[in-house]
Amino acid sequence: MDSDQAKNRILDLSLQINQHNYSYYVLSNPTISDYDFDILLEELIKLENQFPEFLNSNSPSQRVGGEITKEFKQIKHKYSMLSLGNTYSSEELKDFDERIKKIIGETPFEYVCELKFDGLSIGLTYIEGKLSHAVTRGDGVFGDDVTTNVKTIRSIPLILKEGNYPPEFEIRGEIFMPHKSFEKLNLERNSNGELPFANPRNAASGSLKMQDSKEVSKRGLDCFLYYLLGENLPFSSHYENLRNTKNWGFKVSDFMIKCKNIEGVIEYINDWNLQRNELPFDIDGIVIKVDSIPLQEKLGYTAKNPRWAIAYKFKAESVSTKLLSIDFQVGRTGSITPVANLEPVLLSGSMVKRASLHNADIIKKIDVRIGDMVFVEKGGEIIPKITGVDLALRENNAPEVIYIENCPECGTKLTRIEGEANHYCPNDNTCPPQIKGKIEHFISRKAMNIDSLGEGKVEIIFDCGKLNNIADLYDLKYEDLFGIEKSFIAEDTGKERIMRFMEKTVENILKGIEASKSVSFEKVLFALGIRYVGETVAKKLAQSFKNIDSIINASLEDLIGTEEIGIKIAESVKNYFSNPESISLINRLKEKGLRFEITEEENTTVSNKFEGLSFVVSGVFEKYSRDQIKKMVEENSGKNVAAISAKTSYLIAGDNMGPEKKKKAEKLNIPIISETEFLALLNE
């Protein structure tokens, strides 16, 4: 086959495969057998390998994945990706309706009702009919570029059919995992000795952020599109625009309807409240939108939400079952959580065997006892919760639950801090669940980001006696890990399985540990897992004290004098570094090469222009994100503060800024400046 023949055949195969994908994944009407489809795809891949000059990024062959993404770059949304206001009652829906009528007067309008899919939001940008990039919601201004992974979702078109679409537009939707894919995935994870996902939403979210797109392609993700944005859209009706996008190749839900009034909306909601469990995917409510785009523009936005749309959230489903026993679990901070063991019961599409009882106060408040028939709700939580007891069915003389006094893992006497609901095990250095929890926190993405150690591997290494604290990670050698294994009983088969560390697994773990030595000081500080020291507090401490020794030697007054550090946090930091074992741990980590000071590059200030000035940054900006503007403030010796007070020097105001902040700034005569004015101030 010569070059021209190959080019034509590749084009022909691409058109055929795209049409078959559309028929199967969008229309649910396959026109070819799986075997015949695979033959076509294999031929395409083979030809593209032989003639790589004809391979393009939107070829259907790219849906099988294979590209590795080590870090998802941030992309600014062209249109801010705001969230929706929530409501749980028909009365609040009627209030929403009245607010709209008050703004638009007598202008007639209709609502569009759509299912609220329980997944994660995605923004897809198309240029000249081809998928350009796919971006997650992120903070609404910036999101993660997940284009490579999104291309593996076969219901999302890479190249559009012929149509009247604009040269450039964005379409938003929800990526989700159907029940069938979720069940298959968890069976595989159980068979492989991996922890199953708690629910389809978590599974979809975790899948979309995987580094290997080939693995993403195996997860069976799907996507419904629900919102078209851009200039020169075909219709002035949201409903008609969405229906029209079906002709371009997009998958739009057939359950979307128009309603002439709020009564029709409430009727639609009531129907789906009864039918939702029959769907092959999860929904958690109904989205209601004003149909007319000109009216949407007139209604506008608050600081966080569009005024022309609202989400009705279904109340959590509740079931009754028997409480068999109560276990007490120990978290990484030593916090004790009572967990109820239940007679298995079907709740929101999955079998529930355990539910949270939160703390001693909740147990006492609902007066739950072993053997009670209890009411259980999911309410969006990973672990369902017990909300009440059917007292009419309580057995006579059922004894009260006596809350434990000693740690169930290490036997240490529990403590309870005044003003807090939870009991704690104070043995944070040798209590096994606390050690494992601290290590798991240490390796997490927002801390040391050792992703090769995830999915239960820490527990296996710990149980083999190779880890006793976070510093031990840096002593691990190939021979410590190769061949270690753990047996477990697979839930799906009831048979014994073995998970074993082989060569590639061990190499990846050791590479990840070595790479973590370059993580910044503020993340290392966060990774230590000091109680109350989250990401923001760790950053403030790192910026204020510059190195770990200064924090260790700081007085309580020094710590409290740090911006946003109160007495509770300061005491926790002081207590942590007063412990000789903590200092020994820090010294070991120093010896291993971890970064315990801000580098010269990180510590560089551009100027002292804003010295003594404090700024509140609020809203959405055109040229820079909020974080970028805050960084400019800090680089020029200014201080970022969260709330407006009489000491605030400037309020930098973007679009959709909260009205209360503006009102308070005006009341206190704080100068309110735009992004352009801030940049001018910076460049003076």
Most confident of 34-38, 322-326, 479-483, 487-491: 322-326
In which band, very low, low, confident or very high, does the pLDDT at 67 lie, cut at 50, 70 and 90? low
- Which residue, chain included where needed, has tokens 């939108």? 289
What is the average pLDDT value for the chain, to the nearest integer? 87
Cβ distance 458 to 467 under 8 Å?
Answer: yes
Rounded Cα distance between 242 and 384, Å, is 36
Cβ distance 618 to 652 under 8 Å?
Answer: yes
Task: Give the amino acid at 598.
Answer: I
pLDDT at 492: 47
pLDDT at 456: 77
Q: Note whether 432-518 and 521-603 share their fold.
A: yes
pLDDT at 47: 84
pLDDT at 490: 53
pLDDT at 30: 75
3-state secondary structure 210-255: CCEHHHHCCCCCEEEEEEEECCCCCCCEHHHHHHHHHHHCCCCCCC
In which band, very low, low, confident or very high, does the pLDDT at 56 lie, cut at 50, 70 and 90? confident
Cβ distance 452 to 512 under 8 Å?
Answer: yes
pLDDT of 216 over the 80 cut: yes
- Could you report the per-residue pLDDT of 427-469, keeping only the tens digit for each? 988 899 999 999 999 998 889 999 888 767 888 899 888 888 9
pLDDT of 622 over the 80 cut: no
In which band, very low, low, confident or very high, does the pLDDT at 278 lie, cut at 50, 70 and 90? confident
The CATH number of the structural domain formed by 3-64 is 1.10.287.610
Reading the block at residue 292, the tokens are 């007319």
Total-model pTM: 0.54
Q: What's the whole-number mean pLDDT along residues 585-604?
A: 85
pLDDT at 566: 85
Reading the block at residue 128, the tokens are 């000249």
DSSP secondary structure code for residue 459 in this structure: H
- Could you report the per-residue pLDDT of 474-506, keeping only the tens digit for each? 999 999 999 887 776 555 455 666 778 888 889
The one catalytic residue among 116, 151, 523, 540 = 116
* Superfamily of domain 76-313, CATH level 4: DNA ligase/mRNA capping enzyme (3.30.470.30)
Q: What's the whole-number mean pLDDT along residues 603-610?
A: 74
pLDDT of 15 over the 90 cut: no
pLDDT of 243 over the 50 cut: yes
pLDDT at 601: 62
Domain 614-683: state its class.
alpha beta
Rounded Cα distance between 242 and 251, Å, is 10
Rounded Cα distance between 125 and 77, Å, is 10
User: Residue 27: is it exposed, middle or buried by C-beta count within 10 angstroms (0-12/13-18/19+)?
Assistant: exposed
* Superfamily of domain 432-518, CATH level 4: 5' to 3' exonuclease, C-terminal subdomain (1.10.150.20)
pLDDT at 520: 92
pLDDT of 633 over the 70 cut: yes
Question: 175-179, 333-337, 435-439, 658-662: which has the minimum mean pLDDT?
Answer: 658-662
pLDDT at 25: 66
- Which residue, chain included where needed, has tokens 């209030």? 95
pLDDT at 624: 83
3-state secondary structure 509-552: HHHHHHHHHHCCHHHHHHHCCCCCCCHHHHHHHHHHHCEHHHHH
Q: What's the whole-number mean pLDDT along residues 316-327?
A: 89
pLDDT at 81: 87
Determine how β-strand 336-347 pairs with β-strand 130-136. Answer: unpaired
pLDDT at 455: 62
pLDDT of 321 over the 90 cut: yes
Cβ distance 371 to 343 under 8 Å?
Answer: no
- Is 663 among the residues known to form the active site? no
Kindly calculate the radius of gyration of the chain based on its CA atoms and give it in whole angstroms. 28
Any bridge partners for residue 217, and if so which?
A: none
Cβ distance 266 to 93 under 8 Å?
Answer: yes
Query: Does domain 318-393 sit in CATH 2.40.50.140?
Result: yes
- Which residue, chain included where needed, has tokens 């989205």? 287
In which band, very low, low, confident or very high, does the pLDDT at 539 lie, cut at 50, 70 and 90? confident
Exposure b/e, 482-519, CB count within 10 A at least 16 = b: eebebeeeeeeeeeeeebebeeebbeebbebbeebeeb
Rounded Cα distance between 146 and 30, Å, is 28
- Could you report the per-residue pLDDT of 114-141, keeping only the tens digit for each? 999 999 999 999 999 999 999 998 878 8
* Superfamily of domain 521-603, CATH level 4: 5' to 3' exonuclease, C-terminal subdomain (1.10.150.20)
Question: Terminus-to-terminus CA distance in the chain, angstroms?
Answer: 66
Rounded Cα distance between 75 and 97, Å, is 35
Rounded Cα distance between 201 and 119, Å, is 5
DSSP secondary structure code for residue 415 in this structure: B
Q: What's the whole-number mean pLDDT along residues 108-112?
A: 96
pLDDT of 209 over the 90 cut: no
Domain boundaries, the chain: 3-64, 76-313, 318-393, 432-518, 521-603, 614-683
Cβ distance 326 to 402 under 8 Å?
Answer: no
Cβ distance 592 to 568 under 8 Å?
Answer: no
In which band, very low, low, confident or very high, does the pLDDT at 26 lie, cut at 50, 70 and 90? low
pLDDT at 512: 92
Nearest to 138 by CA among 122, 154, 160: 122
> Which residue has better confidence, 265 or 600?
265
Rounded Cα distance between 412 and 575, Å, is 19
Q: What's the whole-number mean pLDDT along residues 524-545?
A: 89
Q: What's the whole-number mean pLDDT along residues 146-172?
A: 92
